[in-house]
Amino acid sequence: MPLLQNRFSGQECRLILQLAIPIIIAQLSQTAMGFVDTLMAGRYGAEDLAAVALGSGIWLPVSISLGGILIAITPSVAQLVGANRTQATPATLHHGLLCALLTSVIACLILQNSELILTHMEISTALMQKTADYLRAVSWGVPAMMFYQCCRSYCEGFGKTRPLMKIGIFALLCNIPLNYIFIYGKFGLPEMGGVGCGWATAAVMWIMAICAGLYLHKSTLFSPLQLLRRRSAFQPDLIKSLLLLGIPIGFTLLIEVSMFSVIALIIARLGTTVLSAHQITLSFSGLVFMIPLSIAMALTIRTGQLIGSGDARQARIAGNTGLLITTLGAILSCTSISLLATEIATLYTTESAIIRLASSLLLIAAIFQIPDAIMTTCAGILRGYKDTTRPLLMVFIAFWVIGLPSGYSLGMTDIFGPAMGAAGFWYSLVLGLTVGAILLLFRYQTVSKQWIMACSTKPSA
């Protein structure tokens, strides 16, 4: 067999893309819901737009990090499925739901008492009240969101990503009329403005949760398992294993999200032009990021199932193939962003000063795509191996030990020459992500080799 066939596989490429494409569409649907909220709130009023934007900046990190704990269900279920132990998977879901109850309580407490955070911000009393009301509205949907995340992670463990794509599209279609109803007060409801976006978001969360529950209850694959009708005996060790696996995932996501929030707060003092250009670059980069993120999620599923089946060599081939896909995709996006930086910036604004600065930042963000894709993909593969603690440390080093300090030095001080402003932070992100990509790539190579050696020494091998 040729060398490349030992490292990459066309069949694995097809399998990974079959898993990843529905995830990409589902992720884009969720991103589109945030865009719709921003657009509709902005049309109602500037203060309402500010309340939604500020509120989203609080509840999204909370939901992403706490919901990230529940992602541990995916590799746990995937390994059981790979080992042909599907009858053992309901216990993982049920104990995941217990974890979801815990994370829901924490999230609700934070969102219901957001004034404790908002009072430390220099904002008007009216804006603070609207933002707090928005977050209280969103909090009523948090239990549903955590339930949905459990169901989603469970389905993904089986490799069932297409139904989740359909739920995501349906949720987006529901979000638009619900926003209109709650914002403008239709069908006898009071006119709530931006706060109505919070109630619409909560309602959409419940719609997604109900759809996911119905799918688990009715589908031919899951209905024999009686997932929502049968209770599993409480297993403290299973709860412990899910938390030990999931908490590092949650903290990893929090590190990534909070990094960009902190950068925005630091450069806000440089003026609206700089901040706007930074946000344009971040917004477009986040949209492109959905592709490697979705492929990484697909690799968690595929790698987990192969490790569960004891085929560590094929798991390594799947990981290598996934890395090849995301790297080629990142090179393509890097080239496209470099060639179309000005055109991309003009999609967001007509102000020439912002366009010029955003175009220059997008050129840096183009380079950013490659290490970001590699690092994200390696993290996804390692989750399939249930390896999350070391990757957390490596991501922390990349973002907070290297990225943020060097960004502040380059962007806000004259230590290494004239202060570069927002560009300094983006250059530092390229540096930090490159280090993170190298560390996680090395970790993936080490872990995959260890699994191959472990599987080859088993008597059944």
Q: Which amino acid is at 405?
A: P
* Pairwise CA distance, residues 396 & 255, whole Å: 7
pLDDT recorded at residue 96: 93
Q: Are 189 and 181 in contact (CB under 8 A)?
A: yes
Confidence of residue 433 (pLDDT cuts 50, 70, 90): very high
Per-residue pLDDT, 123: 67
Q: In this structure, what token pair is assigned to residue 47?
A: 């203060």
Residues 197 and 116 in one domain: yes
Same domain, 230 and 281: no
Residues whose CB falls within 8 Å of the CB of residue 188, separated by 6 or more in sequence, listed in order: none
Q: Is residue 241 part of a domain?
A: no
pLDDT of residue 56: 79
Q: What is the pTM of this model?
A: 0.88
Same domain membership, residue 338 and residue 193: no
Is 159 found in the same domain as 284? no
Is residue 260 one of the residues assigned to a domain?
A: no
User: And the tokens for 193?
Assistant: 């403005």
In this predicted structure, what is the pLDDT of residue 2?
38
If asked whether residues 277 and 325 sit together in one domain, one would say yes
Residue that finishes a domain, picked among 211, 234, 257: 234
Query: Would you say 290 and 24 are in contact if contact means Cβ atoms under 8 Å apart?
Result: yes
Mark residue 226 as left, alpha or beta (left: phi above 0; alpha: psi -120 to 50; beta: remaining): left
Cα angle, residue 452 at apex, residues 450 and 456 outer, rounded to 5°:
120
CA distances from 270 to 317, 357, 422 (A): 47, 13, 9
Rounded to whole angstroms, the Cα distance separating 192 from 305 reads 47
Residue 132 has pLDDT above 50, yes or no: yes
| pLDDT score at 125 | 79
Calculate mean pLDDT across residues 404-414: 86
pLDDT band at 459 (very low <50, low <70, confident <90, very high): low
Q: Which residues contact 133 (CB under 8 A, 6 or more apart)?
A: 51, 195, 198
Are the C-beta atoms of 54 and 130 separated by less than 8 Å?
A: no
pLDDT, greater one: 266 or 235: 235
Does residue 161 share a domain with residue 103?
A: yes
Predicted confidence (pLDDT) per residue in 292-337, tens digit: 999 999 999 999 999 999 999 999 999 999 999 999 999 999 999 9
Q: Which residues contact 415 (CB under 8 A, 6 or more apart)?
A: 409
- Crossing angle for the helix pair 89-112 and 142-157, to the nearest 10 degrees: 150
Tokens of 46: 């500037």
How far apart CA 19 and CA 321 sit, in angstroms, is: 14
**How many C-beta atoms lie closer than 10 Å to residue 209's C-beta?**
22
Tell me the chain's radius of gyration from C-alpha atoms: 22
Least confident piece of the model among 59-63, 145-149, 193-197, 457-461: 457-461
Question: How would residue 5 be classed by pLDDT, with cut points 50, 70 and 90?
Answer: very low
Do 421 and 296 fall within a single domain? yes
Residue 147 located in a structural domain: yes
pLDDT of residue 121 exceeding 70 = no
Mean pLDDT of the chain: 87
- Judged against a pLDDT cut of 90, whether residue 223 lies above it is answered with no
State residue 376's pLDDT score.
94
| Residue 379: predicted pLDDT | 94
The 8-class DSSP code of residue 190 comes to P
439 located within any domain:
yes
289 with 416, same domain? Answer: yes
Structural domain including 456 reads 270-461
Residue-wise pLDDT for 347-388, tens only, equals 777 788 888 888 998 999 899 899 999 999 999 999 999 999
Give a yes or no: residue 258 inside a domain: no
Q: How far is CA 47 from CA 43, 99, 107, in A?
A: 10, 36, 25
409 vs 192, which has greater pLDDT? 409
Of 181, 214, 234, the last residue of a domain is: 234
Q: What percentage of residues in the chain have a pLDDT greater than 90?
A: 50
Q: Are residues 205 and 349 in the same domain?
A: no
Q: Which two tokens stand for residue 363?
A: 């050129």
Confidence of residue 346 (pLDDT cuts 50, 70, 90): confident
Reported as half-sphere exposure (CB side, CA atoms, 13 A), residue 242 has a value of: 30
Do 191 and 284 sit in the same domain of this protein? no
Burial class, 111, CB count within 10 angstroms (exposed 0-12 / middle 13-18 / buried 19+): buried
2 found inside a domain? no
pLDDT for the residue numbered 1:
36
Separation of alpha carbons 143 and 204, rounded Å: 12
Query: Looking at the structure, do residues 298 and 385 belong to the same domain, yes or no?
Result: yes
pLDDT tens string 69-96:
999 999 999 999 999 998 889 999 999 9
Q: Which of 187, 217, 234 is the last residue of a domain?
A: 234
Comparing CA positions, the residue from 1, 71, 2, 5 lying closest to residue 320 is: 5
Number of domains in the chain: 2
Question: HSE of 208 in the Cβ direction (CA atoms, 13 Å)?
Answer: 33
Is 251 inside any structural domain?
no
Same domain, 31 and 88: yes
Judge whether 368 lies within some domain.
yes
Q: What is the pLDDT of residue 248?
A: 94
Nearest by Cα to 407 from 396, 397, 419, 395: 419
